[in-house]
A and B are shown apart, each in its own frame.
Chain A
């Protein structure tokens, strides 16, 4: 909001190349841009001019039809009574019957209109006005404003006193609206659809909206210029400011009207003098330029240094990578080298190993000679266990045999 221009030039309507003065920018035109809000409010507001349409209440049911019930080899749908005409016995009622009513007949008590909160409507208008002050948005909406000197375009009050259409057209052309007016004229075409037979035969684009304060002939003068619409500042309509729900209409203000905007809407602090209890919408962010904020020194200076994420390299397998193995298990390479060498005859490592082996065998033999003699030998100890078991088995058998003999007896 603080980034807006403080002052707007006023152009002389007779000679638009000269400026007659300047005026401070009203706060309304700095309202936050809310395309979603405008769309929503427009959607609902647009429904309010609708006229009801419906099928006749009795449509399709204006017969004394009764079902023939079962037993007559016909479907049970209600049928028209009587005789003597084709109509007798024909199906009636129901959407499937010829001449019957429709499914879910349209009714006049459909909820045609929508109510919109007053504040919401006012916010939408403020937003739409703000959008009309921004050239990119007006261009994006489709208006040809390449020759317009400034946006918002404010013209001296003299234009309000114009009575002749010719003069008005000249004035507009001098203000740079020639391209825009031509666009409207070129765009006139026959409407597609039934509307052409319903008194809505032609369609054309919209041109500028002239907002005035005092009507001294301007409405009549501008009335017949294709595409041009007039509106009084006090009675601004969202349906004109944001046609089709898209804001950014090309708007031409008269000096008086522009001044009055400040009188109507006031500022954020003061509230709107002419709209009771209403204050202009506040932006969610005072400065919406996110990139700028993030990159500003105020923010950057307070940030901690960027966290370096540890990115794992490729996982290495210690069993395959000798370097990694050495890292994890120091000395392993040496040991491995020795181990390899020890199987090669003639190396000192080999001799070392053989020496150890010999010593070990000697020890073992010595021990065996000392301790394992007589009954302590391996074989003897083995058989001892076997004998014990054999004896146990024999005893068991004898016992069984004795039993058998007793039984026999």
Chain B
């Protein structure tokens, strides 16, 4: 009943086994059973059809010798006996010889060969992990296409040029560039006026919505400017450094009026 021969007859060439992988070209059968010693599907190496079997299995870098015998064949839980093999190759080989002492020579040889293979594989793994290596990432056509289109759309929506222009003008007005740039006065003024017009338009809109009461404030502001003007003169008398030009006073928003700007030259004495 529990006969290796009969079991192989059920599993083997003409039978069914879920671990069997058949290749037609070249004609070769493989075994996907994790306990198989050489990965081939034949009577000698089938872990199911041999009640006495031994393999080497690697777990997290450590090699173990797994053995099974007929006595435990009925109990899948306790089927495999395992021995941890030494990290020293020669010692490991001796361990195998010792544990499989009375086993057929072929089994011993196969186990040793597998151990060698495993160790070589581990060495290679370690080397590779040190290298780092390139990770291959597939190019997903659909995604790439989609992202590219979206990029374009985002770019055009952002209106980068306009933003840059605005930013630069802002900086200019604020005076962060100081004296570096020399623009032809006409163009400079025209651009500035344009800016003003825009702002005025904005302002007008606002004024439509708002009040009339603030006329009184204008006088106050005018007064302020006079004060500022005076202050500037005073500071100049005290002996400010060479300032030929004063930065334009902060413009206050005038409603419907033309702004008058004064540029004062300070005499250095």
Contacts and interface: CB of A to CB of B under 8 A. Distances in A.
A65 to B, nearest CB: 51
Nearest to B73: A135
B7 to A, nearest CB: 5
Interface stretch (B11-19, B107-115, B138-146, B183-191): B11-19
Interface stretch (B74-82, B164-172, B173-181, B217-225): B74-82
Interface residues of B, number: 24
B93 to A, nearest CB: 28
A289 B1 contact: no
Interface string A141-177: 1100111111100000000000000000000000010
A3 B2 contact: yes
B6 interface: yes
B64 to A, nearest CB: 15
Interface in B55-78: 73-78
A225 B18 CA distance: 24
A233 B153 CA distance: 71
Nearest to A152: B74
A287 B11 CA distance: 19
Contact of B15 (A35, A130, A151, A176): A35
A145 B16 CA distance: 18
B16 A151 contact: no
A3 B2 CA distance: 7
Interface residues of A, number: 32
A140 B1 contact: no
A150 B79 CA distance: 10
B5 interface: yes
Contacts of B118: none
A409 to B, nearest CB: 107
B13 to A, nearest CB: 12
B49 A290 contact: no
A150 B75 contact: yes
B11 A136 contact: yes
Contact of B76 (A130, A142, A146, A290): A146
B77 A176 contact: yes
Question: SS class of chain B's interface: helix, strand, loop or mixed?
Answer: loop
B3 interface: yes
A151 B17 CA distance: 18
B48 interface: yes
Contacts of B1: 1, 3-4, 30, 33, 130, 134
A132 to B, nearest CB: 12
B75 A134 contact: no
A140 B19 contact: yes
B73 A140 contact: no
B10 interface: yes
A397 B9 CA distance: 103
A228 B4 CA distance: 30
Given A3-B2, A134-B7, A151 B48 contact: no
Contacts of A289: 3-5
A136 B49 contact: yes
Contacts of B79: 135
A139 interface: yes
A175 to B, nearest CB: 10
Contacts of A291: 5
Nearest to B11: A140
B7 A147 contact: no
Nearest to A39: B16
A1 B2 CA distance: 8
A148 B9 CA distance: 25
- 8 residue pairs, one from A and one from B, having the closest CB atoms: A136-B48, A142-B18, A140-B17, A4-B1, A30-B1, A145-B76, A149-B77, A150-B75
Interface of A: 1, 3-5, 30, 32-33, 35, 130-131, 134-137, 139-142, 145-151, 176, 246, 287-291
Given A1-B1, A147-B77, 9 more contacts: A131-B10, A135-B73, A136-B48, A137-B10, A139-B76, A140-B10, A140-B11, A288-B3, A288-B6
